[in-house]
Structure 1
Amino acid sequence: MLFQVRMDVNIPLDMPVEQANQIKAVEKAYSQDLQRQGKWRHIWRITGQYSNISIFDVESNEELHNILQGLPLYPYMNIEVMPLNRHPSSIREDDR
């Protein structure tokens, strides 16, 4: 199942820099592992914002939910999820 996920990050301004950097380092490793597994297909930064648009390829809504809740920055995010389906006018044979 493919999902588009928008993540807006709002780290508290009073969080110590060292703590924020540690959370971001763990987040990066977690996200890159999911990318290597093929579950986190794409990630794009939204210019001028601490936000991204990502495409996930997972088995179920529950798997996506668990992945998102596992993000170290999850407590500081606003997340919007949009399920995706193949469009009948697509000329592609797959989802690449």
Structure 2
Amino acid sequence: MSTPLRIPICDRCALALWPPRTLCPRCGGGAWREGDGSRGRAEQTTDLTGDGAPRLATVRLDAGPVVIARAPGVAAGDRVTLSLDAGALQADPDPGSHDRG
């Protein structure tokens, strides 16, 4: 089952980041709130080789961080939605957007 990506945001300096960390790399704070990390834009894609190998994308989240996710059907410049599926990041074309970078 997939769930929309939620990301930690530092309570002290408001830095959004992924993956989660114990302490904020910017200010050293250790208190976090949860933020929306479910939308972004695919900056680059690459196809791995081999049977059943996935397409991967580098995605800049609207909240700021850059993540790498499985990205079937995604092209560079596409708006995407992100979710966690069995612990892996998944980027899918954003059904509400026809905007390509």
TM-score (normalizing by structure 1) = 0.27
TM-score (normalizing by structure 2) = 0.26
More helix by share: 1
- Greater RCO between the two (CA within 8 Å, min separation 6)? 1
